[in-house]
Amino acid sequence: MPTRHIVSAFDEQLDILHDLVRQMGVLAERQITDAVAAMTDRDTDLASQVMAKDADLDELERKVEAQTVRLLALRHPKANDLRDVIGALRVANNLERIGDFAANVAKRSFVLQSQPEVSLARSMLPIGRAVADMLAAVMKAYDEDDAETALAVRRRDEEVDRAYTSLFRELLTYMMESPARITACTHLLFAAKNLERIGDHATNIAETLCFRVQGQPLDQDRPKGDGTAEMTVMPD
Amino acid sequence: MPTRHIVSAFDEQLDILHDLVRQMGVLAERQITDAVAAMTDRDTDLASQVMAKDADLDELERKVEAQTVRLLALRHPKANDLRDVIGALRVANNLERIGDFAANVAKRSFVLQSQPEVSLARSMLPIGRAVADMLAAVMKAYDEDDAETALAVRRRDEEVDRAYTSLFRELLTYMMESPARITACTHLLFAAKNLERIGDHATNIAETLCFRVQGQPLDQDRPKGDGTAEMTVMPD
């Protein structure tokens, strides 16, 4: 956050807001890692924990909203400060969505455990690691008001989209070869899509941060690498 | 919106904000209907139109954000007015996401057109109609500050989730029987999921409206009917 030399009542309230957002970031990152571990290790205890912890993220988001409303009503922030407050609300909203996607990945572990094992499930690990890293980097950038790093995170999303697109193709091919694996593969397809969406939300956070630092929205279109909506795979 | 007897500069600015949100609602509803028609009629011209029009929704959302920031910076709204302004931002955000999901449904028409026809694609129509109706009802409630109708919309989401769950099961079964249809069915699965997500966003709008009218978040958990994350289908 920008350094301030005179600590005002406004700054104190803003620190509370930033701290809540920071807590959400740490928790969301752990939720992603645990959800993917639960899925690949077929660990339903861990999956249950991730699903239960999602309520903590929801609760933190409600606290961010309440603190935002308090700040706006009592302190009438302007210009940079106003962008900062609105930005925190937006970041919190994205983190809450990330939590939902992680919980949904965890939930699918139960089905996967009941189904024949699909070795492609392990391909979820590098994608999960990539989006967890993106989130950690963008939250660090948020803490340090670092628009450069935020832009670098935005570029990494393209890699994630490419990894997702490639896994999507492999899963479709595998389903055609092994109809008995269709249920498991469908859940893996949705889990992979959830991870790809987490990457999008990390990218949204990066864009919100650039807006806060630079005072205007990014004009270039976001790089796009997810080509699955157009994908066809032919049976042999 | 709440009736005001003395028209102030604040009210005028608020009317501009509400009008932008209203325009987004009308456009988002049409995008849903056209996207589903494009998919079921295999009409790629209509699909292209839907994809192009998504930029209009994005542009309207940017206008809502700019107007929100202007109102907060210049007018310092409090209590109900502040909730109204923050609510408009949230509703616009949900409408923009609805637009993204509709565009994604439209985009999948191109793959479906290149694939053997799947008669189950027509099951998308009632789900599309249901979520478009939910959105129309909640936007009317938004216009009339009608929390009762908003709550009724929230309850309809359960129906949508059930219809989606049932289609999900049928599509999985069909894929097992006809591996040559796996590509088409996978795109239908994702399109159906997009429609289900649109229902969730209409529900978010209903909850935002209840918060605006009643001044506190709804405490009951949202009714949940989407059981697909736990679903297994066995091959014969």
pLDDT in tens, A216-236: 665 555 666 677 877 776 655
- CB-based contact A230 B176, cutoff 8 Å: no
Facing residue for A86 by CB, picked from B69, B176, B187: B69
Facing residue for B235 by CB, picked from A111, A179, A189: A179
Contacts of residue A44 in chain B, CB cutoff 8 Å?
Answer: none
Predicted confidence pLDDT, tens digits, chain B (236 residues): 555 545 688 889 999 999 999 999 999 999 999 999 999 999 999 999 999 999 999 999 999 999 998 999 888 888 888 889 999 999 999 999 999 999 999 999 999 999 888 888 899 999 999 999 999 999 999 999 998 999 899 889 999 999 999 999 999 999 999 988 999 999 999 999 999 999 999 999 999 998 888 776 655 556 666 778 777 776 55
pLDDT of B41 reads 93
Q: How many A×B Cβ pairs under 8 Å?
A: 93
Whether the CB of B201 is below 8 Å from some CB of chain A: the reply is no
Cα distances (angstroms) measured from residue A98 to each of A24, A58, A75, A104, B232: 10, 11, 30, 10, 25
Distance from CA of A89 to the nearest CA of B (A): 10
pLDDT of B35 reads 98
pLDDT greater at residue A15 or residue A216:
A15
Q: Which two tokens stand for residue A68?
A: 């935002």
A31 vs A232: CA distance, rounded Å:
32
Cα distances (angstroms) measured from residue A184 to each of A24, A178, A189: 31, 11, 9
Whether the CB of A72 is below 8 Å from some CB of chain B: the reply is yes
Task: Compute the C-alpha angle A55/A58/A63, nearest 5°.
Answer: 125
> What one-letter code names the amino acid at B43?
D
Whether the CB of A234 is below 8 Å from some CB of chain B: the reply is yes
Facing residue for B182 by CB, picked from A108, A176, A217: A176
Q: Compute the average pLDDT of residues A111-133.
A: 92
Asked whether B175 and B181 are in contact (CB, 8 A), the reply is yes
Residue labelled with tokens 């990494």: A156
| Number of other CB atoms surrounding residue B69 within 10 Å | 17
Categorize the per-residue pLDDT at A143 as very low, low, confident or very high, splitting at 50, 70 and 90.
Answer: very high
Contacts of residue B83 in chain A, CB cutoff 8 Å?
Answer: 69
Picking from B71, B62, B56, B64, the residue whose alpha carbon sits closest to that of residue B88 is B64
- CB-based contact A83 B73, cutoff 8 Å: no
The conformation of residue A229, written as its DSSP 8-state character, comes to G
Mean pLDDT, chain A, as a whole number? Answer: 89
B188 vs A203: CA distance, rounded Å:
27
Categorize the per-residue pLDDT at A1 as very low, low, confident or very high, splitting at 50, 70 and 90.
Answer: low
Distance from CA of A11 to the nearest CA of B (A): 17
Contacts of residue A232 in chain B, CB cutoff 8 Å?
Answer: 111, 114-115, 183
Query: Residues B82-118, buried b or exposed e (16+ Cβ, 10 A)?
Result: bbbbbbbbbbbbbbbbbbbbbbbbbbbbbbbbebeeb
Q: Which two tokens stand for residue A3?
A: 């350094």
- CB-based contact B72 A79, cutoff 8 Å: no
Categorize the per-residue pLDDT at A5 as very low, low, confident or very high, splitting at 50, 70 and 90.
Answer: very low
Whether the CB of B234 is below 8 Å from some CB of chain A: the reply is yes
Task: Compute the C-alpha angle A175/B122/B100, nearest 5°.
Answer: 75
For chain A, the 3-state helix, strand and coil shares in percent, each to the nearest 5, are 85, 0, 15
- CB-based contact B79 A73, cutoff 8 Å: yes
| Number of other CB atoms surrounding residue A201 within 10 Å | 25
Task: Please tell me whether residue A142 adopts helix, strand or coil conformation.
Answer: helix
Whether the CB of A111 is below 8 Å from some CB of chain B: the reply is yes
Whether the CB of A83 is below 8 Å from some CB of chain B: the reply is yes
Q: Name the CATH code of domain A9-219 (choices 3.40.50.2000, 1.20.58.220, 3.40.50.2300, 3.40.718.10).
A: 1.20.58.220
> Is pLDDT of A193 > 80?
yes
Facing residue for A230 by CB, picked from B73, B79, B107: B107
Task: Please tell me whether residue A221 adopts helix, strand or coil conformation.
Answer: coil
Which CATH code fits B9-226?
1.20.58.220
pLDDT of A78 reads 83
- CB-based contact A186 B189, cutoff 8 Å: yes
Whether the CB of A218 is below 8 Å from some CB of chain B: the reply is no
A73 vs B69: CA distance, rounded Å:
14
CA B210 remoteness from chain centre: 17
For chain B, the DSSP string reads: ----SS--HHHHHHHHHHHHHHHHHHHHHHHHHHHHHHHHTT-HHHHHHHHHHHHHHHHHHHHHHHHHHHHHHHH---HHHHHHHHHHHHHHHHHHHHHHHHHHHHHHHHHHHHS---GGGGGHHHHHHHHHHHHHHHHHHHHHT-HHHHHHHHHHHHHHHHHHHHHHHHHHHHHHH-GGGHHHHHHHHHHHHHHHHHHHHHHHHHHHHHHHHHSS---SPPP----GGG------
Interface test with A, best of B232, B233, B234, B236 (most A CBs within 10 A): B232
B91 vs A87: CA distance, rounded Å:
16
Facing residue for A72 by CB, picked from B72, B175, B193: B72
Q: Compute the average pLDDT of residues A67-94.
A: 90
pLDDT of B197 reads 94
pLDDT of A227 reads 76
Facing residue for A111 by CB, picked from B83, B217, B230: B230
Distance from CA of A86 to the nearest CA of B (A): 8
Whether the CB of B214 is below 8 Å from some CB of chain A: the reply is no
Domain boundaries, chain A: 9-219
**Complex prediction ipTM:** 0.82
B25 vs B19: CA distance, rounded Å:
10
- Tell the burial category of A73 from Cβ atoms under 10 Å away from its Cβ (0-12, 13-18, 19+): middle
Q: Which two tokens stand for residue A49?
A: 């924990």
pLDDT of B218 reads 57
Asked whether A93 and A26 are in contact (CB, 8 A), the reply is no
